[in-house]
Amino acid sequence: MSDILNHIEQNLKKTKRLISLEHEQLQQLIQNAERLHHEKQELLESKKVRIIAGGGGRKPKLLLKEQIILTLVYLRHLTTFELLGIQFGVSESTANDTFNYWLPILRELLPSSLIEQVKKTNLT
């Protein structure tokens, strides 16, 4: 588990400061984002024509909630993907790919005004 996720879970009141969401909002967002992620994955799987059974391949380094938090940290702090990768223990390209995967899902779940608010909070 990443240090940021550990920190958030040990200091619930600092969640808003780190990612601009209350802890309860974060938990609800994670649940909804994971549900939407699984729906999208099932849809993709149903359209695939498989020769080899599914379930193989390399497992992701980050848990789903860590991937979501990585995306929210980027939106809040607008750091570089290299630094974000160091914070979460992944490569720069993995941090970039993770962000670009989860951003459209979060846009579906959050009103655009809230995503823009997360971005603007950093600029003020």
pLDDT in tens, 81-99: 999 999 999 999 999 999 9
User: Is residue 51 within 8 Å of residue 16, measured between CB atoms?
Assistant: no
Q: What confidence tier does 32 reach under pLDDT thresholds 50, 70, 90?
A: very high
Q: Provide the 10 A C-beta neighbour count for residue 122.
A: 12
Q: Taking Cα atoms as reference points, which of 58, 68, 64, 62 lies closest to residue 90?
A: 62
pTM of the model: 0.82
Q: According to the model, what pLDDT value does residue 56 have?
A: 73
User: Is residue 14 within 8 Å of residue 20, measured between CB atoms?
Assistant: no
- The answer on pLDDT for 114 being more than 70 is no
- The answer on pLDDT for 14 being more than 90 is no
pLDDT in tens, 33-71: 999 999 998 998 888 777 777 777 788 899 999 999 999
Q: What confidence tier does 103 reach under pLDDT thresholds 50, 70, 90?
A: very high
List Cβ neighbours of 20 (8 Å cut-off, separation of 6 or more): 72, 75, 76, 117, 118, 121
Q: According to the model, what pLDDT value does residue 123 have?
A: 52
